[in-house]
C-alpha cells in the first residue's frame, strides 16, 4: 500500500493549491471590494457607523484565504491591514477601533493560513489512503484470482468424468500446489495489513547475509533448473545485519520470483558492503525497459504506470518487499543495465 504522507515543511504553508483557479479575477474582485468599502467610509456615503465595515473586511480576508492561492491571499490580507491605518489617518476611525481592526485582520490571517493548510493536509492524506486502498484491493484481487481459478478448473475437470487413480492423484497435487500458493498470498496480505496498522512485529536476531544467500540459493536452485534459467548467488560479503530471518527471506524470494518471471537465460544475486550498508542486487536478462519507459522507482514498477507488459502481476510481491525493507530501515531501488533489470536492496549492517 501507499506510504504514509510525510509532515509538510513550513514552506508548504505558502505553496498549497486552493479551490479557485481564476486567481486574477478573484483578486481584483476582493481588492476592489475592499477599496470601495474604504472609499464609502472615507467619503461618508453611508449612514451606519463606519466600524460596521470591519466585519465585512474580515469576511473578505477569510474568503481569500480559503479560495485563493497563498500569495494572492496574503496580498489581500495586506490590503486589509492597510485599510484601518488609512481610515485612522483620515480621521474616520478612532485609534482604538483602527488598532482593534488591525489586530483582528492579523490574527484571522495567521489562524486562517494554519487552518486551511491543516484541512488541506487532511484531504491529501485521505486521498492517499483511498488511492492506496484501491490499489491494494486491485493487487489482492489480481493475485488471488489465479490460484482460485486453477483450483476450480482442476476440480471441475477431475469431476467431469471417471478417471484412473493416477489422474486423481495428479489433480489433487495440482490443487494442493495452488492452495499453498493461495496460503502464501494470504500471509502476504496479512503482513501488509499489519504493517499499515503498525502492528507488524519484527523478530530481530543477528543474521549473516552469506547465510541468507545460501538459503536463497537452496530454495531457488530447483525452480531455476526447471525453468532452464541459470541462477547464480554470491555468498562472500561477510556482512551481518539485525533483522527478521523469515521476513528478509520473503523479501529476497519476492525479488527473485519477479526476476524469474522475465529472465531469458540468467538470474544473478550479488551482495556487497557499501558505505556502512549491505547491498543486495537481483538482476535478470529479461530485456529491461525501453529508454523512454524505464521506471525510476520500485513504486512505479509496482503500479505499472505507463510501463510495458513486463510490469504486470508484480504488485503484491513488490508491495511486500517494500514494506519489509522499510521496516528494517532499508530501501529498494532500481538500476537498468543493458538488456535487463537490477533490483537493489540496501540494509543497515551491524558488522562485517
Domains recognised in the chain with CATH numbers: 1-200 (no CATH), 205-348 (3.30.565.10)
Q: How far apart are CA 122 and CA 105, in angstroms?
A: 25
Among 306, 304, 263, 309, smallest CA distance to 283 is for 263
The pLDDT value given to residue 90: 75
DSSP for 200-240?
-----EEEEHHHHHHHHHHHHHHHHHHTT-EEEE------E
The pLDDT value given to residue 214: 93
In this structure, the chain runs to a length of 352
The pLDDT value given to residue 16: 52
pLDDT tens string for the chain (352 positions)?
444 444 444 455 445 555 554 556 666 666 666 666 666 655 655 544 445 566 777 777 887 777 777 777 777 788 788 877 877 787 777 788 778 888 888 888 888 888 877 887 888 888 877 877 777 777 677 677 777 888 888 888 888 878 788 888 888 888 888 888 788 777 777 787 777 777 778 889 999 999 999 999 999 999 899 889 999 998 888 889 999 998 999 999 989 988 888 888 999 999 998 888 999 999 998 876 766 666 666 666 665 544 444 444 445 788 888 889 999 999 998 888 877 888 999 999 886 5
Measuring CA to CA, how many Å separate 68 from each of 1, 113, 222, 270, 286?
33, 11, 62, 53, 50
Which helix (H) or strand (E) element contains residue 255? helix 245-262
Name beta bridge partners: 345: 280, 332
Amino acid at each position: 500500500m501507499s506510504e504514509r504522507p510525510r509532515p509538510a515543511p513550513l514552506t508548504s504553508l505558502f505553496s498549497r493549491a486552493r479551490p479557485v483557479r481564476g486567481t486574477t479575477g478573484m483578486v481584483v474582485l476582493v481588492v476592489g471590494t475592499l477599496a470601495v468599502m474604504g472609499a464609502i467610509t472615507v467619503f461618508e456615503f453611508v449612514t451606519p457607523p463606519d466600524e460596521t465595515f470591519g466585519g465585512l473586511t474580515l469576511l473578505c480576508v477569510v474568503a481569500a484565504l480559503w479560495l485563493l492561492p497563498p500569495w494572492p491571499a496574503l496580498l489581500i490580507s495586506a490590503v486589509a491591514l492597510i485599510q484601518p491605518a488609512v481610515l485612522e489617518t483620515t480621521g474616520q476611525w478612532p485609534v482604538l477601533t483602527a488598532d482593534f481592526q488591525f489586530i483582528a485582520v492579523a490574527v484571522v490571517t495567521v489562524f486562517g493560513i494554519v487552518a486551511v493548510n491543516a484541512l488541506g493536509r487532511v484531504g491529501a492524506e485521505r486521498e492517499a489512503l483511498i488511492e492506496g486502498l484501491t490499489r491494494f484491493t486491485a493487487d489482492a484481487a489480481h493475485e488471488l484470482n489465479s490460484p482460485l481459478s486453477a483450483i476450480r478448473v482442476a476440480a471441475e475437470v477431475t469431476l467431469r468424468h471417471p478417471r484412473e487413480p493416477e489422474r486423481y492423484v495428479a489433480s489433487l497435487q495440482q490443487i494442493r500446489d495452488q492452495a499453498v500458493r493461495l496460503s502464501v498470498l494470504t500471509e502476504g496480505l496479512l503482513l501488509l495489513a499489519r504493517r499499515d496498522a503498525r502492528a507488524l512485529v519484527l523478530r530481530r536476531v543477528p543474521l549473516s547475509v552469506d547465510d541468507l544467500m545460501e538459503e536463497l540459493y537452496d530454495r531457488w536452485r530447483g525452480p531455476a533448473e526447471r525453468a532452464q534459467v541459470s541462477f547464480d548467488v554470491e555468498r562472500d560479503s561477510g556482512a551481518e545485519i539485525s533483522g527478521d530471518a523469515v521476513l528478509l527471506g520473503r523479501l529476497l524470494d519476492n525479488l527473485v520470483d519477479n526476476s524469474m518471471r522475465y529472465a531469458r537465460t540468467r538470474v544473478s544475486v550479488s551482495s556487497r558492503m557499501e558505505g556502512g550498508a549491505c547491498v543486495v542486487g537481483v538482476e535478470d536478462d529479461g530485456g529491461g525497459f525501453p529508454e523512454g519507459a524505464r521506471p525510476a522507482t520500485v513504486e512505479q514498477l509496482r503500479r505499472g504506470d505507463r510501463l510495458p507488459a513486463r510490469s504486470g502481476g508484480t504488485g503484491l510481491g513488490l508491495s511486500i518487499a517494500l514494506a519489509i525493507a522499510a521496516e528494517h530501515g532499508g530501501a529498494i531501488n532500481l538500476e537498468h543495465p543493458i538488456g535487463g533489470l537490477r533490483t537493489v536492496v540496501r540494509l543497515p549492517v551491524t558488522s562485517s
